[in-house]
């Protein structure tokens, strides 16, 4: 299989990802899960994702579909890149083992279905926050803890955000 086919093979359906995760876990792998839009990949994203990958041996990224991004209210122009492009770019990263889409407003059902070992979000969230109404609450936290998993955060790189890149381009 060529390099491009290997990259494309990382982007998969929920059913296929579930199967891969079962096989990885049977082989003793520790599966890390994170999610986001990842619209314009930048240094902050790459740093965050590489550090998230360090919490286990396999990294799965769930990305918002285009419709899901639109509902987040990030602006009329968002997403800049379509979901297929965002997925392919993330899959090209060496430390990414799988990419799956979610169309809901949150990835909680995906987390419940995939049952990863570690859920990771940026440090603008709080792994210990248990109140779902708090903006620092990590969606999927309860499902992770109920399944014996861990919830972790990674420090964000200051000065990098897709919103700021879009503002800079418009200026």
Domain presence at residue 22 = yes
State both tokens at 59. Answer: 């990294």
Q: Which domain holds residue 39?
A: 3-155
Q: What is the pLDDT of residues 81-132, one digit of tens each?
A: 999 999 999 999 999 999 999 999 999 999 999 999 999 999 999 999 999 9
Domain presence at residue 171 = no
Q: Which letter, b or e, does each residue of 58-96 get, where b requires 16 or more Cβ atoms within 10 Å of its Cβ? A: bbbbbbbbbebbeeeebeeebbbbebeebbbbbbbbeeb
Is the per-residue pLDDT at 171 higher than 80? no
Domain presence at residue 8 = yes
Question: What CATH code is carried by the domain that includes residue 124?
Answer: 3.40.50.620
Count other Cβ atoms within 10 Å, centred on residue 44. 18
- Domain count along the chain: 1
Domain presence at residue 54 = yes
pTM above 0.85, yes or no: yes
Domain presence at residue 164 = no
Q: What is the mean pLDDT of residues 160-169?
A: 68
Domain presence at residue 161 = no
Count other Cβ atoms within 10 Å, centred on residue 26. 8
Q: What is the pLDDT of residues 11-61, one digit of tens each?
A: 999 999 999 999 999 999 999 999 999 988 888 999 999 999 999 999 999
Domain presence at residue 144 = yes
Domain presence at residue 169 = no
């Amino acid at each position: 299989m060529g390099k491009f086919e290997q990259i494309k093979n990382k982007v998969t359906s929920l059913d296929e990802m579930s199967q891969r995760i079962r096989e990885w876990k049977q082989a003793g792998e520790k599966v890390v899960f994170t999610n986001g839009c990842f619209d314009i990949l930048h240094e902050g994203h790459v740093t965050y994702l590489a550090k998230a990958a360090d919490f286990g041996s396999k990294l799965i990224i769930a990305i918002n579909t285009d419709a899901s991004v639109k509902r987040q209210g990030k602006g009329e122009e968002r997403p800049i890149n379509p979901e297929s492009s965002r997925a392919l770019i993330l899959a090209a990263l060496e430390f990414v083992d799988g990419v799956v889409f979610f169309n809901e407003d949150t990835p909680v059902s995906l987390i419940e279905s995939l049952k990863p070992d570690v859920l990771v979000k940026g440090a603008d969230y709080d792994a210990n926050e248990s109140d779902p109404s708090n903006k620092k609450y990590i969606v999927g936290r309860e499902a992770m803890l109920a399944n014996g998993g861990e919830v972790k955060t990674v420090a964000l790189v200051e000065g990098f955000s897709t919103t700021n890149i879009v503002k800079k381009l418009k200026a």
